[in-house]
């Protein structure tokens, strides 16, 4: 999960692997191994990675549920009351049309 989140977040931020490695002060091969899942960084490095990528360390390490990602997206976009009503409407429509 860490490797997938590292890559997704890096791409969302428009960064290259080299740029992330430089932010952390590690070599490209070391960072590349983390993102490819060949090696797992230590906990203190996960904390540094999260800070560099501006995300929650627990999310980055996969220690939070998938719903947290949805909540974070909503929080990051600071929806107004009209936006919130539309989001609720969309969710209700989605789940009412979903087969059980």
Residues 28-75: pLDDT tens digits? 999 999 999 999 999 999 999 999 999 989 888 887 766 777 887 888
For residue 99, the model assigns a pLDDT of 65
Average pLDDT over residues 77-91: 93
Cβ count within 10 A of residue 91: 11
For residue 65, the model assigns a pLDDT of 65
In CATH, what number is assigned to the domain containing residue 10? 1.10.260.40
Residues 52 and 7 in one domain: yes
Number of domains in the chain: 2
What domain range includes position 70? 66-97
Mean pLDDT score across all residues of the chain: 90
Question: 57-74: buried (b, 16+ CB within 10 Å) or exposed (e) per residue?
Answer: bebbbeeeeeeeeeeeee
Which of the two residues, 61 and 13, has the higher pLDDT score? 13
For residue 97, the model assigns a pLDDT of 85
Residues 6 and 26 in one domain: yes
Residues 53 and 84 in one domain: no
For residue 16, the model assigns a pLDDT of 97
For residue 60, the model assigns a pLDDT of 87
Tell me the CB-side half-sphere exposure of residue 84, using CA atoms within 13 A. Answer: 6
């Amino acid at each position: 999960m860490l490797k997938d989140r590292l890559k997704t977040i890096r791409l969302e931020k428009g960064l290259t692997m080299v740029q992330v490695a430089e932010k952390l002060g590690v070599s490209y091969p070391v960072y590349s191994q983390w993102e490819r899942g060949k090696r797992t960084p230590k906990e203190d490095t996960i904390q540094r990675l999260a800070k560099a990528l501006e995300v929650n360390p627990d999310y980055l390490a996969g220690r939070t549920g998938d719903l947290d990602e949805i909540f974070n997206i909503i929080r990051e976009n600071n929806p107004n009351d009209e936006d919130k009503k539309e989001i609720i409407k969309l969710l209700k429509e989605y789940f009412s049309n979903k087969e059980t």
